[in-house]
Structures are given as structure tokens and as C-alpha cells.
Structure 1
Amino acid sequence: MIAVDRWTGEEATLLRSVMRASVRDFASRLGISPRTVSNWQRNKTGICRPQMAQILDTALHQCTSAEQEAFNLRLAAMRGATTPASTEPTARPAPCTVVSHKFLPVYLGECAAPLYAAGVPSEPGPGGLDQRILPADHHSAQSSEVHIYACGVAVLHLEEHQHLQSLTDLALWRYRTYRKEPDWAGKWMAHLLDRHADGMHQPPQSLVPQYVLSAYELRTHTWSSAGLDTALQLLATPSVLVNRQNPANVVPLGPGVEEAKFRDGWTHPEAVTFDGGVSRGVVGWSGVSYHPQADERALTMSQIVALELDVQALWAVSSHILHTIEAGHDPVMPTAYSWRFLRSAYFRLTTARPTETAQHRVMREAILATSELPDRLRAAQEALRDSNP
């Protein structure tokens, strides 16, 4: 195992990321103040005191072998890419090219059956869910399609390419289009049901997705190491760049906000970082950002998209079950998609495979930790087992 001869805020923050722990959870596990953990995030060059270094050594020793492997891999990459702070220019906002992936899940229940029958077969994703694909017709997306899952969910996937002068521009575009996409998705799903279902089943009360999740591929940019890290953080949590008090008129927070974020090396305390070989990524509650580099070890954006599709499908299923319980009703699912189906999906998503690379495992665990899907799946599984033993 790579030795940490001198713990700084950077190594401590890396350990928290590998352990997939929030600021409070990490502080609790180490028996320290959350403020100390936040200070590490803000001051990555600060050297930890000997007593704190011993606590971090113990925490690393108690990690699982997979967590230790991920820590070693990312620490080695970090040390190899680090340049003296005095020689690296101050990062600033700059033009870049971003490929946006939007995911809009809709629970259809039995209405999904005729759409699934009409779709083109597709390989199951990491969750092992049977799915088929139907085309969509989005007015501005380079690619738009509907993934129909046999478990009764449709996930609309939009790929859009954006050439930007700043990340604030992307944040504005994101929130302004978010107001329009759910309505478009609902109309497109109604169109597909009219075309393929032929009145076979009563559609759900609402075909409008409850939310939109994004994944961003940072394709071209001019930032060096520190600037790239900040850019990925801002891509994963763009709300810090805009004022959303009036959803109908989202505006920039003010002049100089993005520049200050780059200058200070801003990071979100709840975001989780992951590496894909020589590439870098960040996962937040509202999305994923990733900068792939041409290397045989690197993850591909398609692997992230495949995981997000399954995660959003299972989130929609579990949400339907839990909302049914909240409404005072017993959830009922087809026999093939009982609590055992949720248990199987949970196992596939949370268990490492022998052929899975360390980079893919770190990415998968980061996305699952921030989405909180495993906890939701367990709750839905228990609810189904209680109602339909």
C-alpha cells in the first residue's frame, strides 16, 4: 500500500471521497469535528498535525481492500500530475465544449408493456434490467431516445452539445431548459402510447417526469490541473452560479462569481470525486461531470450513461412504491418484479464484478452514494415484502 508520509488536506479529502462519506459521516467515523473536514476541503495544502495524521492512518488501514486500492490508485495519479503551485497560473473562466446528457424517468406501470414490445432490443446495463429503445424527436438534441424497461419505466435520454464562453452560461441553459423538458417528455410519452398502446391499459395520472438529472462530458477546454478540478465541481453543482429564486427567470448570481470560484479552487463539500484512469470526474446530487482522456485505462462516457439509465429507472420504480405507501395504499407489482427483483437489482449494482476495473468501481460507488439509491431500494424492497410476502 502506498504510504502517506505527510497528510495534507488533499490526501484527507481524497480519503473521504474514496470512503464515499459525507462531511458529517466522515467526521463521525474519525471522531473529529465536521468543521475540520470542511477545512481540509478548503485548504488542501495545509499539513495535518501528527495526532490527526495518526487518526487518518488508522482510518485508511480500516478501509476495505477495494477502498485502499482506489485510494492508492488515485493518490499515485495525483502525485504524478501535481505541479508546484507557484508555477501554475491562476485558473479563470474560459470557453469550453460540453456534451450534456439529460435523463427524464417516467413510471408507466403496465402501460410500458406495448412500448417495450415495439422497441428495439438493447443490451442490459450494469443493473441487469431488460430494456428496449424507441426513438424520440427532440427539437434541439443531437440524439434523443426512450429507454423502455420491462419493469414499467421509461427513461428519456437527450444528448446535446454546447459550446460555451463560461460555465455560468451552461448553468443558465440548464435551468431554463429544465422548465421545458418535462412537458416535452410528457407529450412524447403520450404520443408513443397513442401509437403503440391502442388503449390496452389506462395510462398513469401523469406522464410528466418529476425531475431531470444531468451528466456532463467536458470535451474540450484550456484549464490546467487546478482549473480542471474546479470546472468539474461547477459542472456537477451549477446551482452555485445562478439565482433560482424566480424559476421562470433564472439569472447569474452576479459579476465575478464564477471567476472567484476558479480563483479560490472551489469545491462542493458533499460532492464525491472519482478518477477514470488518467481522467477525472465529480458526482453531486444533481448530476455527474467527467473529463475523459484518450487512454486505454480511461472510463468512457457511455459507461457512465449506461449506469445512470439503470439508476434512474430503479429510482422511478422505488419512488412509485414508496409514494403508494405514503398515500395509504399497498403497493402491487407484477410477479416478475416483486421485492426479489429489487433485491437482485440492488445486489448487481452494489457488488463488484471480477472483470470490473478499479476505475469503474470507484465511479459506480460514487454515483450510488450520491444518489442514495441503495437505501431507497432497500426501503422499497421491504415495503413490497411486507405487502406481498
Structure 2
Amino acid sequence: MSSEAGVTSEGKRATPNIVLIARRQAKGWGRERLAREFERLGRLLDLPTPELSAMTKAIYRHETGRAAVRDEVYIRLYCAAFETNSHDLFGTLSGDVQADGSCGLTSHKFVPVYLGSELLPVLIEAARLAPGAVQWAGCHVGQVEHPAGVCTLYAFPWGVGVFHLAEDLSVPNIASLAVWRRQTYRDARQWATDWLREATGSEIPVAHYVLSAYWVHEPPWRGRELTIALRLLSMPRVLLDRGTDDAGPSLHHAELVEQALLRDGFHDGRIDEFGVGGLSIGCASWAGLSYYPQAPGRALQVSDLIECELLVQALWSYCHHVHEQVEQGHDPVVPAEYGWRWVRAVRSRLTVTRPQETAQHASMRSAVLETSELGKHLTTALELLRDVDGE
């Protein structure tokens, strides 16, 4: 293949398209045979095709990299002949970002709410939650009806309920996801608050925030753009204006920002990457997570991510309750069995690597803890609760 490499019409050294060559050779075809297939497909798809000799020459130029495949007719013919899409065949040969098609992903929303020791048993009975566990933590769990997707409610014994809402999505770009995310966050918080208040008969429960994790199934990006896209998915808010009017964020503006960042690159010190080269790409930030298993059989499983976030958010909500009491001028009050000694034990479980824990899982856990600042919150809660005990 290297012997056929030459220069492009612009005088640059040509780079052979080894994907096109490999696809053709896998069929057992020569270039002229592929050209004849183009003739047949042209008639089938009602596409105007050049002469056979002209197509043979074009195939040679495309494969050797002397000419990029820009003609829509040839793009469609190659895709039809090799039964695949343009990204798999051509990537972004020009160096410009061109993300064809939509991105298939699952949105995982986590909505934690502090209930306290009195309301928790009321919730468990009202929602008919069954005993369960999330990693090392016992809890009660059950399905609840939600109009947007599959929703599971977890009730943790330290007084926190966490809704996990999974929604399968197909989005044309990250900008549309960012707009949808902002629009649905308020609804998710209000829904969780209303649902818990009705279930418990109390006005105490309030959902303060939502955290999202995006598990990518079918990315339209490749190479460098794929890594940039995963970073943006972990922090999609960077695509939106900080101040928006009642009409909501501008999708057009967000799309322009996305295109610029995919082209020029996006780096943020608040993002901690935890993927493994060749296996996965994972990004964690204060705003959320994104993960793409490039090798699904060897990468993390979706349950690994979900269970990690369930624990982190349930404990974060507990710490927030402790801090909130102190900021209101009160001594923090928690159930005796979930005092500072319990917090110390939890902090150790979260921050110390387990003997049989995989490197991938340890890397994800470390990234989530670092970006959520849960370790700091646990340490502060521990000190505040120990001060109350006078120890």
C-alpha cells in the first residue's frame, strides 16, 4: 500500500485510505470489479454514475489518498457497496469536523433527596420498596412510574432517597442534549419533590439538584473528536449561555459553540478522565459523567457506573443535610448509628482501593470522588458531628 502513496493535488503527501482498501479486498474484488458494482448500484439507487474507466481511476485515487471522497454520489456508492456508513469509511479526511447521523445514548438522571429517619420508613411502606443493596450498602429499592422512562427509587438507611431515571435518547448533536438537559432538570426536581411529598404526606422533602451520566452506545464521532465529545458530554452546560431569557437557551448558539470546540479542542481542569486506551473513554466532572465502552466486553458495565453514582449521591445528600443544619446555626442531628464513626468508616470504604477491585473501577471511583468533592464533604461532616459529641 505504501508504494502507491503519492501526493495530493495540493502538493501534500497522500495518506492511503486503508479502510477502503481493506473493505474492497475483504470482498475479493479488484478496483474494476468494484467499479462494476458501482454501475449496478447506480442503476438500483437511481444515481448518475461516470464511465467504468473513470470510476476505476477514481477508486484508485480515493484509495491512495490522492483525492478525498467529497462527491455525494461516490459517498453513497461506497456506503452501499460496503454496507456501512461514511464515518466508518472516510472519518474526517479534510480535518474538519463532520459528525454525520445522531448519537445514541442512555441518559441516567440521579435525583437525591434527604428524608430523615422518620420519613424513610413511611416512604418504604408507601412505595412498597423491597430490601436490596448497592455494592456494600444495604437499602430498599423498587420501581416507580415516571412518564419519561424507567425510574427506580432507592431508600438508603441513613435517611436519603435517590431516584434513578434511565431514558434512551437519539440526539443530533451535543448542543441539543445540553438544551434538553437544562429544560428537563427543573421538571425532574419538581416531579421528585411532588412524588415524595405525596408518598410521605409531608412537605419536608425537597429535591435540590439532579446529576446526569451519559452512557454512549453509538457515537457519530471518531478519533480526536470522539474524546472531545465525551468531555463535552460530561459538562454540556459549557455550550449554553449563562444567562438566558424565558425562551430558554439558544440551540443555534449552542451548536455553533459545539462546532468550534470540536474543531479547536476542549480542555477543562475540572474534568477527570478515567477511560483505558483502546477499551473505553470516560469523563467525570462536577456536572456529570460520560462513558463510551469501545470494547464492551472488557470495559466497565453500566451497572458499575450506576451503583457508583447512587452511593456517591446518597452520601453527598447526607453531607449536605449536615452542612445545612450547621449553616442555619444548629448543631447537626443525625441518627446515632449514622454519626461520625459511621462517616469515618464510609470515607475509608470509598477512598481505599479494595483488594479485588479492578483498575478500571478504581479509576472511575477516584474520578467521581475527586470531581464531586465527596471526600472533602465527608471529612467536614465527620468533624462537625464529632464536635457535637465532644470527642
Shared fold (TM-score, shorter chain, > 0.5): yes
User: 2: CA distance between counterparts of 1:358 and 1:294?
Assistant: 16
Please state if 1:121 is matched with 2:131: yes
2:239 maps to a residue whose letter is L
Q: Deviations over 1:131-179 (max 9, x none)?
A: 11132211111x1011100110001110011111111010000000012
Question: Which residue of 2 is the match for residue 261 of structure 1?
Answer: 261
Q: Deviations over 1:303-346 (max 9, x none)?
A: 01101000000011111011101111111111111111111111
1:161-200 equivalence runs, <5 A: 161-194=168-201
Structure 2, unaligned stretches of length 5 or more? 1-90
User: 2: CA distance between counterparts of 1:92 and 1:329?
Assistant: 56
2:174 maps to a residue whose letter is L
Please state if 1:375 is matched with 2:381: no
User: 2: CA distance between counterparts of 1:247 and 1:230?
Assistant: 29
The 3-state SS of whatever aligns with 2:330 is: coil
Query: Structure 1 pair 254/365, CA: closer, same or farther in 2 (3 Å)?
Result: closer
| Residue pair 2:325, 2:331 contacting (<8 A) in 1 also | yes
Question: Which residue of 1 is the match for residue 29 of structure 2?
Answer: none
Question: Which residue of 1 is the match for residue 230 of structure 2?
Answer: 232
| Residue pair 1:92, 1:262 contacting (<8 A) in 2 also | no
Q: Deviations over 1:274-306 (max 9, x none)?
A: 115601101111000000134443111210110
1:272 maps to a residue whose letter is D
2:364 maps to a residue whose letter is M
User: 2: CA distance between counterparts of 1:295 and 1:157?
Assistant: 22
Give the number of aligned pairs: 293
Question: Which residue of 2 is the match for residue 209 of structure 1?
Answer: 207
Q: Residue 267 of structure 1: CA displacement? A: 2.3
User: 1: CA distance between counterparts of 2:160 and 2:191?
Assistant: 17
The 3-state SS of whatever aligns with 2:275 is: strand
User: 1: CA distance between counterparts of 2:254 and 2:295?
Assistant: 36
Seq. identity, %: 38
| Residue pair 1:134, 1:148 contacting (<8 A) in 2 also | no
User: 1: CA distance between counterparts of 2:134 and 2:236?
Assistant: 31
2:266 maps to a residue whose letter is W
Query: Structure 1 pair 96/336, CA: closer, same or farther in 2 (3 Å)?
Result: same
Question: Which residue of 1 is the match for residue 58 of structure 2?
Answer: none
Query: Structure 1 pair 180/247, CA: closer, same or farther in 2 (3 Å)?
Result: farther
Please state if 1:251 is matched with 2:261: no
Question: Which residue of 2 is the match for residue 280 of structure 1?
Answer: 281
1:271 maps to a residue whose letter is I
Query: Structure 1 pair 276/115, CA: closer, same or farther in 2 (3 Å)?
Result: farther
The 3-state SS of whatever aligns with 1:131 is: strand
Q: Residue 123 of structure 1: CA displacement? A: 2.2
User: 2: CA distance between counterparts of 1:235 and 1:265?
Assistant: 14
| Residue pair 1:107, 1:316 contacting (<8 A) in 2 also | yes
Structure 1, unaligned stretches of length 5 or more? 1-84, 195-202
Q: Residue 210 of structure 1: CA displacement? A: 0.7
Q: Residue 88 of structure 1: CA displacement? A: 8.1
Q: Residue 221 of structure 1: CA displacement? A: 1.7
Question: Which residue of 1 is the match for residue 43 of structure 2?
Answer: none
| Residue pair 2:115, 2:204 contacting (<8 A) in 1 also | no
The 3-state SS of whatever aligns with 2:274 is: strand
Question: Which residue of 2 is the match for residue 91 of structure 1?
Answer: 97
TM-score, length-normalised on structure 1? Answer: 0.71
User: 2: CA distance between counterparts of 1:185 and 1:274?
Assistant: 31
1:181 maps to a residue whose letter is A
Bigger relative contact order (CA 8 A; separation at least 6): 1
Question: Which residue of 2 is the match for residue 136 of structure 1?
Answer: 144
The 3-state SS of whatever aligns with 2:205 is: coil
1:56-67 equivalence runs, <5 A: none
TM-score, length-normalised on structure 2? Answer: 0.71
| Residue pair 1:236, 1:289 contacting (<8 A) in 2 also | yes
Q: CA RMSD in A?
A: 2.0
User: 1: CA distance between counterparts of 2:254 and 2:294?
Assistant: 33
Higher alpha-carbon Rg: 2
User: 1: CA distance between counterparts of 2:245 and 2:313?
Assistant: 24
Question: Which residue of 1 is the match for residue 20 of structure 2?
Answer: none
1:184 maps to a residue whose letter is W
User: 2: CA distance between counterparts of 1:254 and 1:280?
Assistant: 23
User: 2: CA distance between counterparts of 1:159 and 1:129?
Assistant: 22
Question: Which residue of 1 is the match for residue 28 of structure 2?
Answer: none
The 3-state SS of whatever aligns with 2:270 is: coil
The 3-state SS of whatever aligns with 1:256 is: helix
Query: Structure 1 pair 367/255, CA: closer, same or farther in 2 (3 Å)?
Result: closer
| Residue pair 1:276, 1:292 contacting (<8 A) in 2 also | no
